[in-house]
Chain A
């Protein structure tokens, strides 16, 4: 037993372990967790892990500050230093001397550099952000055709705004070629006639989101002819696509809600429009009414004579002026005319007088010629047996004929006693 190494004290054993461990410098990559960074402590403490093992770490505050790295839980870091033992607690830990972001950290630096580049080009300026259409008729969705995101958007749109048509570009959102696929999807969406585009994917690790940090995707988002809303669920990280989008929503569902008005909002809007249209008509009717009232109030309609009042007055004025306006010559002619008229009437009268006298004389002569006048002088007329024919010759009579003799006054019926023809010397 004396040949055997003597038993060590605990302190000796721990010191041996400490020296052995500290003799081997190491570089270790792992994910940060359980980060403790309290200003009162001389060191910061954290744990590095890789999914199956954990390694407690400490780093002196001044060295940490010198590294320029700001650690966060979940971050991948590369540390150098040595394992050591803290004898009072019997605890092994890694004494970190240098610290650098690793893997994802490199990605972050790359992403930050791209963000700065695009920002320098002005692609992230707030004034570049376009307003979303209030009532989109067509909504394009660029996302994976598998998984939760696409159905979250479909459900949300169906619930809120089924009026819009939904166009889906199913693309690969992770793995090799994802960026190219997303770019193709954005291009198809931009050419689809959609009013707005949703670029979505469900949550994932930071690396999973890398396609949305690709320059080609960022430029495709910026170049899209219609507004793009991102719903890339990875709060609090934002991707470059988020930064250049017109609106960044936190999740696919939130993006769908941002894009579509709710049916309730639209109904309310319609109701308000209905009221406005009705009110507008009422206003138009009132305006027409007022105009009618103004016209009706006009003097013309209150007293139609007013319509001709001016004209009537002008006629009156003209009438008054007219005699004065008749030329003197015409008046003189008028006088002459009246004189002529008198003379004409006078001469007419005289003509009539003369005519009257002539007529009287003619009448006298006519009286002389009248057979009645002859009878008055003592002659008689003999009418034959028929009582109508005047008897001019005794030869036409036979004794016994009854004749009628017309005298100056009255007549007498006579019977022929005898006839005699006395030569040619008739009475």
Chain B
């Protein structure tokens, strides 16, 4: 907890979920003192909020590695 955690908006979605799972496991272990528990809980809530926001607001980024994409007539966007 000594290094400052990655800001939630910068963290990768999968990493955020993995960290959340770690937090849950740590909280459930009962090995943390109350202060540490609260700190992790707060971090967990922040990550959860960030994940939900990302999920709700995400616009898929599409990048072409090779070639050029031909528009699809059925594609509504």
Contact = CB atoms under 8 A, between A and B. Distances in A.
A133 B15 CA distance: 12
Given A151-B75, A276-B28, A280-B41, A170 B13 contact: no
A164 B37 CA distance: 31
Given A135-B13, A158-B60, A170 B41 contact: no
A418 interface: no
A133 B14 CA distance: 9
Contacts of A263: 55
B60 A137 contact: no
A163 B53 CA distance: 10
A199 to B, nearest CB: 13
Contact of A280 (B13, B23, B69): B23
Nearest to B35: A288
Contacts of B21: 273
Contacts of B30: 283-284, 287
Interface string A334-354: 000000000000000000000
B33 interface: yes
Contacts, number: 141
A274 B70 CA distance: 42
B59 A162 contact: yes
Given A135-B13, A137-B12, A277 B66 contact: no
Q: Which one of A140, A155, A263, A280 has the greatest number of beta carbons of chain B within 10 Å?
A: A280
A162 B69 contact: no
Given A171-B66, A171-B67, A277 B17 contact: no
Interface string B26-61: 111010111001101100110010011011001111
Contacts of B6: none
Interface residues of A, number: 50
B23 A267 contact: no
A167 B74 contact: no
Contacts of A151: 72, 74-75
19 contacts: A140-B65, A151-B74, A154-B62, A157-B60, A162-B58, A162-B59, A162-B60, A165-B60, A166-B61, A166-B62, A184-B66, A263-B55, A267-B52, A270-B55, A274-B48, A276-B24, A280-B24, A280-B40, A284-B38
The 7 closest A-B pairs by CB, nearest first: A170-B67, A280-B27, A284-B37, A151-B72, A162-B58, A277-B44, A288-B34
Interface of A: 133-137, 140, 145-148, 150-151, 154-155, 157-158, 162-171, 184-185, 188-189, 192, 195, 263, 266-267, 269-270, 273-274, 276-281, 283-285, 287-288
